[in-house]
């Protein structure tokens, strides 16, 4: 919510400047429920859809509990990225067509079974259930096609007719065809489908032509709410694990895990969300597609992957609090924290912060995560390792945010 509030004054500026834009350079017509200069807000149905997708994320990350191997981490990233890309495509479609548009809401309803199938197939998503995962991915990419295709038939089409087909229908066909292809050929088709989407979006042949009609406040709010839900799901994972391992030591580990997640939430909303409002509003006014792409597609993927991997490590610590964390879980704890901080740093740079500003906090992150926390985890019991993590990142956030708080006063 905070990200959207940060955008409000900028939205007024954008509206004023929009009056000066010539008819030739104005974005295409907007659909029912959205108008130029009209601030959008995420509605309850979008929140419900985000809850469904966060459940998909944590089902995929469940295999990282215990002592995950490098192959387990790789499988998680491979399976999560196509799902994440599908969610972002749907989010941007709702943004352009308007959250109040009944057809956009129907699209979200239609996408839920596809994400459910991808999640249910993920435990064997690179094995016996790969065909089911592929069909789910195809379905998720197909559901937004009718909205974009309908826009091409209007007098002032937002996109030429071939773009929705190339960006929506072709990747969906590749995913669906891969379900029938055995062996490594299936994964080649997956790589081609994902690579095609990335290439088209980067080159402007996908849905990026619609970026000029997007609401920055809505994008900031949706991504921010998704991060909140993911952090909340991390707490839920910790609590449900505690319910199965109800001991004083497990309770201590769960409390330390809750403190860790709380500090990360504060870190994101101090460093990430305010900058998102600035850059997305600027991108909206200048139609800088690259800034929107990076801010809502690529970098949040790293951020959310870090949160999910960290949550798996916290669950392992609550299950076996009196033993040292297994090597894979310790890597998940330290690597998840570093991925989170790295994504926040990259977002800050993308949001226009000077590299010098990052020098005040980011260089300490890898030192604390792998120079201090990792060696501590080799000798300390799991509950103590998580407690050290909470103290390190909490102290780091407090020390490095003090100058910023003082400048505000």
Residue 342 CB coordination number (10 Å)? 18
Token pair 């916290």 is found at 314
pTM of the model: 0.82
Residue 336: both structure tokens together = 């998840």
Classify residue 295: in a domain, yes or no.
yes
Say what the pLDDT of residue 328 is. 96
Distance CA 185, CA 27 (A): 41
Q: How many domains does the chain have?
A: 1
Classify residue 22: in a domain, yes or no.
no
Distance CA 160, CA 183 (A): 37
Q: What is the CA radius of gyration of the chain?
A: 22
Classify residue 35: in a domain, yes or no.
no
Residue 192: both structure tokens together = 């081609």
Residue 404: both structure tokens together = 């910023």
Say what the pLDDT of residue 11 is. 36
Residue 326 Rama label (left phi>0; alpha psi -120 to 50; beta): beta
Say what the pLDDT of residue 24 is. 31
Residues spanned by the domain of 82 = 2-8+41-408
Angle, CA of 10, 16 and 19, to the nearest 5°: 140
Task: Decide: residue 370, CB within 10 A, 0-12 exposed, 13-18 middle, 19+ buried.
Answer: middle
Distance CA 268, CA 145 (A): 33
CB 366, CB 338: distance < 8 Å = yes
Say what the pLDDT of residue 299 is. 83
- Residue 282, helix vs strand vs coil: helix
Token pair 């050290």 is found at 388
Classify residue 14: in a domain, yes or no.
no
Residue 62: both structure tokens together = 């469940």
Say what the pLDDT of residue 286 is. 47
Using alpha carbons, select from 104, 73, 31, 34 the residue that is nearest to residue 308: 73
Distance CA 283, CA 208 (A): 12
Classify residue 24: in a domain, yes or no.
no
Distance CA 375, CA 384 (A): 12
Classify residue 398: in a domain, yes or no.
yes
Q: Name the DSSP letter for residue 331.
A: H
Q: Name the DSSP letter for residue 276.
A: H
Per-residue pLDDT tens listing for the chain (409 residues) = 333 333 333 333 333 333 333 333 333 333 333 444 455 677 888 888 888 899 899 999 998 999 999 999 999 999 999 999 999 889 888 888 888 888 888 999 999 999 999 999 999 999 999 999 999 999 999 998 888 887 776 645 556 777 788 888 999 999 999 999 988 899 999 999 999 888 877 765 555 555 556 676 777 778 888 888 899 889 998 999 999 999 999 999 999 999 999 999 888 887 765 555 555 555 555 445 566 666 677 888 999 999 999 999 999 999 999 999 999 999 999 999 999 999 888 877 766 667 787 888 899 999 999 999 999 999 999 999 999 999 999 999 888 876 544 444 4
Using alpha carbons, select from 262, 241, 387, 256 the residue that is nearest to residue 315: 241
Classify residue 204: in a domain, yes or no.
yes
CB 163, CB 204: distance < 8 Å = no
Q: Is the dihedral of CA 7, 343, 201, 143 positive or negative?
A: negative
């Amino acid at each position: 919510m905070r990200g959207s509030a940060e955008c409000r004054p900028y939205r007024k500026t954008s509206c004023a400047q929009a009056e000066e834009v010539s008819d030739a350079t104005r974005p295409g017509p907007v659909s029912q429920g959205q108008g130029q200069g009209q601030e959008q807000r995420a509605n309850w149905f979008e929140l419900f859809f985000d809850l469904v997708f966060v459940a998909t994320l944590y089902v995929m990350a469940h295999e990282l509990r215990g002592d995950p191997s490098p192959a387990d981490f790789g499988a998680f990233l491979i399976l999560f990225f196509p799902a994440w890309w599908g969610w972002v495509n749907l989010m941007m479609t709702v943004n352009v067509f308007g959250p109040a548009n009944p057809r956009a809401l129907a699209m979200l309803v239609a996408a839920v079974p596809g994400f459910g199938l991808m999640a249910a197939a993920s435990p064997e998503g690179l094995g016996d259930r790969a065909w089911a995962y592929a069909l789910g991915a195809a379905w998720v990419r197909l559901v937004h096609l009718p909205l974009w295709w309908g826009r091409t038939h209007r007098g002032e089409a937002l996109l030429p007719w071939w773009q929705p087909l190339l960006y929506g229908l072709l990747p969906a066909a590749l995913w669906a065809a891969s379900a029938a292809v055995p062996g490594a050929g299936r994964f080649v088709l997956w790589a081609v489908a994902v690579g095609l989407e990335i290439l088209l979006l980067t080159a402007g042949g996908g849905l990026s032509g619609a970026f000029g009609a997007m609401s920055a406040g809505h994008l900031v709010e949706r991504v921010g709410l998704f991060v909140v839900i993911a952090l909340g799901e991390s707490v839920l994972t910790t609590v449900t694990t505690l319910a199965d391992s109800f001991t004083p030591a497990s309770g201590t580990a769960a409390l330390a895990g809750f403190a860790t997640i709380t500090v990360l939430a504060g870190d994101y909303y101090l460093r990430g969300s305010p900058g998102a409002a600035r850059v997305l509003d600027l991108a909206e006014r200048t139609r800088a597609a690259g800034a929107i792409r990076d801010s809502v597609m690529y970098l949040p993927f790293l951020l959310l992957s870090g949160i999910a991997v960290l949550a798996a490590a916290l669950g392992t610590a609550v299950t076996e609090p009196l033993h040292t964390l297994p090597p894979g879980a310790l890597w998940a704890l330290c690597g998840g924290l570093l991925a989170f901080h790295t994504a926040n740093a990259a977002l800050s740079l993308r949001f226009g912060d000077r590299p010098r500003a990052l020098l005040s906090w980011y260089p300490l992150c890898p030192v604390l995560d792998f120079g201090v926390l990792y060696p501590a985890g080799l000798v300390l019991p799991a509950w103590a390792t998580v407690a050290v993590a909470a103290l390190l990142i909490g102290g780091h956030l407090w020390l490095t945010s003090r100058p910023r708080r003082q400048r505000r006063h």
